[in-house]
Chain A
Amino acid sequence: MSEKIESSGKRKINLSPQVTALLLALILFLASGLLPNGFNSLETALNQAANILRLSAFLALIAAGQTLVIISGGEGIDLSAGAVVTISVLFSYRFINGDNAMVIPVMLFVVAFGALIGLVNGTGIAYLKIPPFVMTLGMAGVVTGALLVITRGLYDGKVAPIMTNVIARDLFWGIPGMLFIWIIFGVLMTILLERTRYGKQLFAIGVNRLSAHLSGVRVSRMVVTTYVLAGALAAFSGFILVGWLQNAGLLVGNQYLFPSIAAVAVGGTLLSGGKGSYIGTMAGAIVIQLITSLLTTMQLPEAIQQIVFGLILIVLLVFYGREKGLRL
């Protein structure tokens, strides 16, 4: 698709980012089997695969809203996602408090709350023209600050049994319920991006805001909608996350923020907007999670893990994160 403008004589490898990311994930996974404490039978290999997929699922869920925001262009990014995940985790934990009947209402409540935060983000970005980077960064500060005021560092609660059963345990055939949620979620996200008016308009504003506006897209409204969706999705991920962790924490979501952006980038979504897919993000999340797991399994010190993670990310980006140069 993108090979047409290549007259400078440089050869370009024509693998779509999604395929590259998936291949890479496979290679990394097989490589992890060669480690001394890696898997040695098919069964352990499958278990390990399921485990890694389950961990990737969280990253991918949190990266979903990020994917939308990044595709929308205009330097779009949601740095408040981590804080929204945290507040959603804490709210779910506190309000569900072990009661099955409260699961659905609380889920709706936290998703609405996330959407509200997204609404503020979107309004600031679309109407007050605040750059997304600092708007969402400031919002992360507000949410974290609000969390401190509300909790004063203390929290308690309990996860409902039904959440444990559906999210954390195996649902059918030894496959964790989380994976089913992820697959359904992935299908819905792909439909949203590829088959709806919203998706079409999202790519349109991502490529060029002005031309989208001239062809009748209400750009500001689209931007606000996108940040609202991103907030809601981040909150939903928090709800799922608490079901998996069975616990809460005051900084639990923040550690997922930058890995989720990395997952989006590794999945081939252009950070400048207008191009990308959720399947790519899913693959990217698996890659990032595999790298992390691999480094943990190798029992390297934290410092080395960081360095290697950074270097691998750079290598990945060099392979297919390159933007079109000025020289055509």
Chain B
Amino acid sequence: MDTKIDLREWWSSFNRKNTYVLALIIFIIVTILYFFLQPNIFEEGILNRILTSNFRTWLPVTLLAIGQTIVMLGGGLDLSSGALVSLGNVILAISITSNEEPWFNLLIMTSVIVLGLLAGFFNGFLTAYLGLQPMITTFATSFVYSGLALLILPDPWGNIPREYTNAYRNTSWLGIPISLFVIAFILILWEIIKNRRYGRFLFAVGGKADAAYYTGVRVTNIRISTYVISGFLAALAAISYTLLTGSGSARSGEEMTLTAITAAILGGTSMAGGSGSLFGSVLGVVILGMVKNIISLVKLDSWYRVLVNAIIIIVALASPGIINLFRRNK
């Protein structure tokens, strides 16, 4: 009897500490399903090809989801990150047209990153410093960013040198694609930061801002920093997206924002702040991507795809609640 209660307690505390457990379970289910539908996956080179092609496509959204998670951990929300991707994407697309001046191209990429940092700071200044509500404020700034993108490039265009796009698309070390390295690098970096001062302060700010404030945490600065990080990652997402598609469009990031938020929630991050993990959000993106892949693998009638995709997402989001309901009844 006692051990049983202990087990249950252990499970719930394990769940609380590792918010991504459910995402991990869903991820495993989805992966098994995927392998089942793609039986040739264990043949030579196939797995590598699938990893490469999937992760290079998912990298932009993954970066956004990571940025979003950090903002959400601090108790905010960033609806402008997708628009920032569009803005970065069009700037890169109109500027980088040949590979003859690598320094100039590097300069453009750097300025896109600086722009991301500035835009993020602007978001943070409005929401954290002026105390405006994050959802509507970042929605308003997203209009500004996407408007600028549309101003710069009204119609999709772009001529990114083949060398650059190929380098992004096909580079891999030890059979692991470059995009996966980027994600792994960020996750490892985060593991280090998480348990240091900044990480602990961030969780404190998101969990209970007033308590954090009274214990001397600079709540406003921490919150602003989360938006700056989100802006930075959005700029990186813009670069990777541009390298992926080789062209620019003022609408490129439009749908990414909500996907990134969904991925973060699916990964166990709380919208109220103070709980969640970057690893979970990455899992969230992978799950969303895999579900799409599976839907196309089973050759579902294309009219049903949106519906089935949405239903699967809702069921996945509902699963912790359903489990809890059953647990309570027992």
Contacts and interface: CB of A to CB of B under 8 A. Distances in A.
Interface in B113-154: 126, 130-133, 135-137, 139-151, 154
A137 B258 contact: yes
B258 to A, nearest CB: 6
B321 A303 contact: no
A317 interface: yes
Contact of B314 (A135, A271, A301, A310): A135
B151 A307 contact: yes
Contacts of A327: 213
Nearest to B259: A137
B139 A261 contact: yes
A138 B314 contact: yes
Chief secondary structure at chain B's binding surface? helix
A270 B305 CA distance: 37
B136 A261 contact: yes
A214 B306 CA distance: 42
Interface in A145-190: 145-146, 148-149, 152
B193 interface: no
B147 A149 contact: no
B271 A75 contact: yes
Contact of B310 (A124, A142, A303): A142
A307 B83 CA distance: 12
A315 B253 CA distance: 25
A303 B150 contact: yes
A128 interface: yes
A3 interface: no
A302 interface: yes
A318 interface: yes
Contacts, number: 160
Interface string A57-87: 0000000000000000001010000000000
Contact of A265 (B133, B146, B258, B314): B133
Given A131-B265, A310-B142, A310-B143, A138 B313 contact: yes
A65 to B, nearest CB: 17
B206 to A, nearest CB: 13
Contacts of A258: 139
Interface in B199-220: 209-210, 213, 219
Contacts of B311: 142, 145
A262 B139 contact: yes
Contacts of A308: 147
Given A131-B271, A138-B317, A324-B131, A314 B322 contact: no
Given A134-B265, A138-B317, A310 B307 contact: no
B136 A145 contact: no
B140 A313 contact: yes
A259 B321 CA distance: 32
Nearest to A328: B210
A130 B136 contact: no
B141 A139 contact: no
A325 interface: yes
A262 B147 contact: no
A314 B126 contact: yes
B133 A272 contact: yes
A144 B310 contact: yes
> Which bracket fits the contact residues of B?
35 or more
A152 B317 CA distance: 27
A152 B310 CA distance: 17
B304 interface: yes
B140 A130 contact: no
A271 B143 contact: no
Contacts of B145: 310
B252 interface: no
Interface in B286-330: 303-311, 313-314, 317-318, 320-322, 324-325
Contact of A271 (B133, B261, B262, B308): B133
Contacts of A301: 151
4 smallest CB-CB distances across A and B, nearest first, come from A145-B307, A128-B321, A141-B310, A310-B143
Given A134-B271, A149-B304, A317-B136, 14 more contacts: A124-B318, A130-B321, A131-B265, A133-B271, A134-B317, A135-B317, A141-B306, A145-B311, A261-B135, A261-B139, A306-B143, A308-B147, A318-B126, A326-B210
Interface of B: 77, 126, 130-133, 135-137, 139-151, 154, 209-210, 213, 219, 250, 258, 261-262, 265-266, 270-272, 303-311, 313-314, 317-318, 320-322, 324-325
Interface of A: 75, 77, 124, 127-131, 133-135, 137-142, 144-146, 148-149, 152, 258, 261-262, 265, 270-272, 301-311, 313-314, 317-318, 321-327
